[in-house]
Amino acid sequence: MKTFVYIDHFKGEIQPASWEAIGLGKSLGSVSAMVFGSGVDAITKAAFEHGADEVFAADDAALTDFRVEPYAATLSALASSQSPDLILFPTTARTRELAAMSAVDLSTGVLTDISALEADGDQLMATRPIYEGKVLEKTICTGKPVMATIRGRAFPKPEPDASKTGTATKVEVKADALTTVEGYSASESAVNLGDAGVIVSGGRGVSNNPSLQPPAGMDEKQAEIWRAQQGFALITDLANVLGGAVGASRAAVDGGYIPYSHQVGQTGKVVTPDLYIACGISGAIQHLVGMRNAKLVVAINKDSDAPIFKQARYGVVGDLFQIVPALTEAFKKKLGK
């Protein structure tokens, strides 16, 4: 099977699921990586190191910032001339748009957010979670090439091998675009919960430490947010020691404790870390659907009847303001940090 893999990157940071897509492609046959952007030599090198047999590089100033029109036109022209059987993308906001637009050009369809892919003769059967992850749907794409975006951390990541090198084939760039990018705000790139192996999340409970005295002059709401920020500082310390990311419940986001980009759940992000530590989160169904596929869940909550404990392998009934710093110190010692 001839598979093309789109390597998604933003400001030099490569989406790790791009490598997982290469690993998946290699399990089915040969892999050609597609690297688009401006000054992409380092990304091309990394693609070879992660197992690409061939790299198609579209390297042009017109592709400095992601805009779907030139990226999709370039990808569609390349796919039309090379006729791959399968095109894989890591699932990101950019690739959902890119894959959809290219699929229209190529008269095919896109299977989004797949978590498994099996070859049965010439047919490819994809699995993807639907209905908030309650049902796994098996689906095929009858168009050619089959296009699919893969769920982050659902497939094994190949180990890079620095001895693997190659020369990229240059691709003609279709530079026409009606849009220009004026800039980015920091928050758009700050949190990457989808790729995190460890997530420490905080809920409404992070604001519940009446013994903390806020600075004078704050009204009640300001004091609540100030307390929550002290709580999230403890959560961030623990996440940092474990090399993880900080998540949050919707109550914490709605309360103004932390930006929306951290929200886990039905209306936030769906995450699949190896370890999820829920601090001061009750475990409402809308939160659980975002994290129940974590390999190991630990819950810290004052209320022994909190539903989160049903989801957790390990539970600590207690005040997060005591437990979280104690855990951070214990991990620091254990990990020699």
Ligand X SMILES: Cc1cc2nc3c(=O)[nH]c(=O)nc-3n(C[C@H](O)[C@H](O)[C@H](O)COP(=O)(O)OP(=O)(O)OC[C@H]3O[C@@H](n4cnc5c(N)ncnc54)[C@H](O)[C@@H]3O)c2cc1C
| Residue numbers at the binding site for ligand X (CB under 6 A) | 203-205, 208-209, 249-252, 263-268, 280-282, 284, 286-287, 290, 300-303, 306, 319-321
Shortest Cβ 153–ligand X spacing (Å): 19
Give the C-alpha separation, 34 to 55, whole Å.
6
- Residue 266's region, left for phi above 0, alpha for psi from -120 to 50, else beta, is alpha
Shortest Cβ 323–ligand X spacing (Å): 8
Tokens 């974590």, located at residue: 294
Shortest Cβ 136–ligand X spacing (Å): 21
Q: Which is nearer to ligand X, 37 or 255 (CB)?
A: 255
Farthest CA pair distance, the chain: 71
Q: Which is nearer to ligand X, 71 or 321 (CB)?
A: 321
- Residue 321's region, left for phi above 0, alpha for psi from -120 to 50, else beta, is alpha
CA distances from 158 to 8, 161, 188 (A): 16, 9, 27
Q: Which is nearer to ligand X, 244 or 255 (CB)?
A: 255
Q: Which is nearer to ligand X, 107 or 304 (CB)?
A: 304
Shortest Cβ 305–ligand X spacing (Å): 9
Q: Which is nearer to ligand X, 146 or 306 (CB)?
A: 306
Cα-Cα end-to-end distance for the chain: 46
Shortest Cβ 201–ligand X spacing (Å): 8
Q: Which is nearer to ligand X, 37 or 280 (CB)?
A: 280
Tokens 């992660």, located at residue: 50
Give the C-alpha separation, 170 to 168, whole Å.
6
Mention every residue, 6+ apart, whose C-beta is less than 8 A from residue 196.
244, 245, 271, 273
Starting at the edge strand found earlier in the chain, the sheet holding 135-139 runs 116-120, 123-130, 135-139
* Cα angle 264-9-171, degrees, rounded to a multiple of 5: 145
Shortest Cβ 197–ligand X spacing (Å): 21
Q: Write out the E strands in the chain.
A: 2-6, 9-10, 13-14, 30-37, 54-59, 86-90, 110-114, 116-120, 123-130, 135-139, 146-150, 169-170, 198-202, 245-248, 275-279, 296-301, 314-317
Give the C-alpha separation, 138 to 123, whole Å.
12
Q: Which is nearer to ligand X, 172 or 254 (CB)?
A: 254
Shortest Cβ 70–ligand X spacing (Å): 34
Shortest Cβ 296–ligand X spacing (Å): 19
Q: Which is nearer to ligand X, 100 or 317 (CB)?
A: 317
Query: Residues 173, 64: contact at Cβ < 8 Å?
Result: no
